[in-house]
Chains A and B, each alone.
Chain A
Amino acid sequence: MSSPVEREPLLRVEGLTKAFGGIRAVDELNLAVAAGELRCLIGPNGAGKSTLFSLLSGIHQPDAGRIVFKGEDITELSPFRRVRKGICLKFQTTRIYRGLMVGENLTIARGKVRGTNGRLEWALGVLGLAGETARPAGELSHSHQQWLEICLALATEPELLLLDEPTAGMTPEETALTADFVIKLSGQGVTILVVEHDMAFVRHIARGVTVLHYGRVFADGTLEEIEANHEVRRIYLGEQ
C-alpha cells in the first residue's frame, strides 16, 4: 500500500453477491475498472450482467460485498446519490419519457447543470438528435430512442457510464455508428462499461472484455485473448 490514491481504480467491486428467488445472480464477484477504460461485459443469458449493473447503480442492494467508487464505499448509497457521484446507467429496455418532447427529456436530464462541457451537444449531433428536440420522444425510431437514452445519461455528466445493451434491435449500420460513438466518447475520458450480446459490436469496440458466468468473472483480457480462450468459447459460443 505505497500510494493507494494513485493505484486506486475508478471502480472496485469486492465479493458482490445478490440472489433472486434462490438463484445467485451475482456470486462473490470481484472487478476493478480503471479510469478512462472502455470495457465490454459479455456472458451467456443469466450470467448476471444486468444484475451487476443494477447493483452498481443502486437499483438493488447487494446481499453481501461492497462497491468502491473513486475510493469511497458507495454500497449503501441511494441511486440518485450515485448519479451525483458520477455513475449513470442506460437501462436495458429503453426508458425515456415517451409523452414528452425530446428537448423536454433533455431538460429533465440536464438538471441544474448549466455550463455544459459541450459533450451533450456533440452527442446529439453525432446521433442525429440535434434537430429533433421538438418531437415527442415516443415518436422517435427505436434506435433513436436508444440513443436519446444514452444522451439522457450523458446529460448528467457521468464519469462512469453503464450501458446495458445499447445496440439491441439495431441494424448493423446503426450498431457500427453506436460503436464508433462509444469509442469517441471513451476518447474524451468517460469510463464506460458496456453489457452487450452482439459480438459484432464487441469486436468493433475491440477493447478489454470481461466474461461473466454464473455470476462470477469467468475470464478477463483483451478481445484477442478472450476470443482465443477455449473455455470461453465453450461456455459462451457453445463450441465443443
Chain B
Amino acid sequence: MNVPYIVSLAYQYADNLAFLLLAALGLMIILGVIDVINLAHGELIMLGAYTTTLAYHRAHLPLPACVLLSFIGVGAFGMLLERTVIRRFYRDKLGALVATWGISLLLSQGMLLFLGPSLIAVPLPEWTLSYAGYSFGGYRLLLFGASILVVLLAWWIFYRTKFGVRTRATMQNPAMAQALGVDTRRIYLYTFAAGSALAGLTGGLYAPTTTIVPLMGTTFVDVAFITVVVGGGANPILGALTSSALLASISAPLSSVFGTFMGRIGLLLTALVIIRFLPRGLSGYFQDLQRRRMAGARS
C-alpha cells in the first residue's frame, strides 16, 4: 500500500460518496419531513439534466448558470407537483408512492416522445490533476466539493434558520406545530420544492458526466433508494451523510475491483442486513442512542 494508491482509493471513495449523497439527499429530506416517498425523484433528476443540457446547447449559457437554472426550474416543478398531486396523499403513504410512480412513467415516456431518445451531452470540463501516475478528474472533485457544500447548506437551513426550526417542529409533531401557529402545509410545500430542487441540481451537476436519455433517472434512483433505506427518515441530513459514507466504503472498492454491477449488489445486500437489525436506518439508530444517553445522564 503506497501513498499514491491510497490517494487513488480516497478519490474513488469521494466520487462514490458525492454521487450517493447528491442522488439521495432530496428524497431523504422529503421522506423525513413529509413522510412520503417520491418515486419520481429519478425523473426529476432527469429533468434537471435535460434543463442543463438544453440551456447549454440552445441558450449558450455557461455551465454554472445552466445548473442554477436546473435547481430553480425543477424546484418550481416540484412545487407544482406538490400542489396538484402529492398534497392529496399525505394520509396515504403507499398511495403517494404509487401516484408518484405514475408521474415518473409520464415524465420519462413524455420526454422520450417530446425530445427523442437522447440529447448530445454537455462536454465534460477537462480539468485533470495527475499525481504519481494516477490522473484524477477535476470535475469529479468539484462534484465532491458541491455535495459537501449542499449538505452544509441544508444543515444550516435546518438548524440555524426560523424555517428550519418550524420544519423540525413539524417533523416531530405536525398537530402540535400547527397548534403553535406553524403553517404545516406551507412547510410541506417548501420542503417538497427543496427536495425537487436538489434533484434538479443533481441532474444538472451530473449532466456532463452521463448520457442524456429519458430513462437516465433509474441509474440514480437505485442507489438513491438504498441510501434512503439505510439512512432512514428520522434525521434526513445526518442519515444521508452517514448512509452515503458507509455505502461508499462498500461500493467504491467493490466497483473498482469487480465493476459497477457488483458494487450495486453489495449495496443491496448491505441494505438488507442493515434493516434487519436497524429497521429505522442509521439515523433512527442514532436517535435511539441519543435518547438513551440523555436518559442515562439525567438519572
A residues within 8 Å of B by Cβ? 19-24, 27, 63
Contact = CB atoms under 8 A, between A and B. Distances in A.
A234 B294 CA distance: 30
Contacts of A23: 295, 298
Contacts of B299: 19, 24, 27
Contacts of B297: 22
B291 interface: yes
Q: Counting chain B CB atoms within 10 Å of each CB, which of A19, A24, A63 scores highest?
A: A19
Interface residues of B, number: 8
A63 B298 contact: no
Contacts of A22: 291, 294-295, 297-298
Interface of B is mostly: helix
B93 to A, nearest CB: 18
A23 B292 CA distance: 10
Q: Counting chain A CB atoms within 10 Å of each CB, which of B295, B297, B298 scores highest?
A: B295
A63 B297 CA distance: 14
Given A19-B295, A20-B295, A24-B295, 18 more contacts: A19-B291, A19-B292, A19-B296, A19-B299, A20-B291, A21-B291, A21-B294, A21-B295, A22-B291, A22-B294, A22-B297, A22-B298, A23-B298, A24-B298, A24-B299, A27-B299, A63-B292, A63-B295
The 9 A-B residue pairs with the shortest CB-CB distance in the complex, in nearest-first order: A19-B295, A22-B294, A22-B298, A22-B295, A21-B291, A24-B299, A24-B295, A21-B294, A63-B292
7 contacts: A19-B292, A19-B295, A19-B299, A20-B295, A22-B294, A22-B298, A27-B299
A22 B299 CA distance: 8
Contacts of B291: 19-22
Nearest to B295: A19
Contacts of B295: 19-24, 63
Contacts of A20: 291, 295
Contacts of A24: 295, 298-299
Contacts of B298: 22-24
A23 B299 CA distance: 8
B214 to A, nearest CB: 41
A22 B297 CA distance: 8
Contacts of B294: 21-22
Nearest to B294: A22
Nearest to B297: A22
A22 B290 CA distance: 9
A23 B294 CA distance: 8
Nearest to B298: A22
Contacts of B292: 19, 63
B103 to A, nearest CB: 29
Interface string B16-32: 00000000000000000
A117 to B, nearest CB: 38
A20 B296 CA distance: 10
B288 to A, nearest CB: 11
A27 B298 CA distance: 12
A24 B298 CA distance: 9
A24 B295 CA distance: 7
A23 B291 CA distance: 9
Interface in B242-299: 291-292, 294-299
A29 to B, nearest CB: 14
A189 B214 CA distance: 69
Q: Counting chain B CB atoms within 10 Å of each CB, which of A19, A22, A24, A27 scores highest?
A: A22
Contacts of A19: 291-292, 295-296, 299
A19 B299 CA distance: 10
A217 B75 CA distance: 56
Contacts of A63: 292, 295
Nearest to B291: A21
Contacts of A27: 299
Nearest to B296: A19
A22 B287 CA distance: 12
Contacts of B296: 19
Nearest to A21: B291
A21 B292 CA distance: 7
A152 to B, nearest CB: 26
B157 to A, nearest CB: 25
B9 to A, nearest CB: 40
A55 to B, nearest CB: 15
B169 to A, nearest CB: 15
A63 B288 CA distance: 12
A191 B295 CA distance: 33
B298 to A, nearest CB: 5
A88 B155 CA distance: 45
A240 B212 CA distance: 77
A23 B297 CA distance: 10
Nearest to B299: A24
A35 to B, nearest CB: 34
A24 B294 CA distance: 10
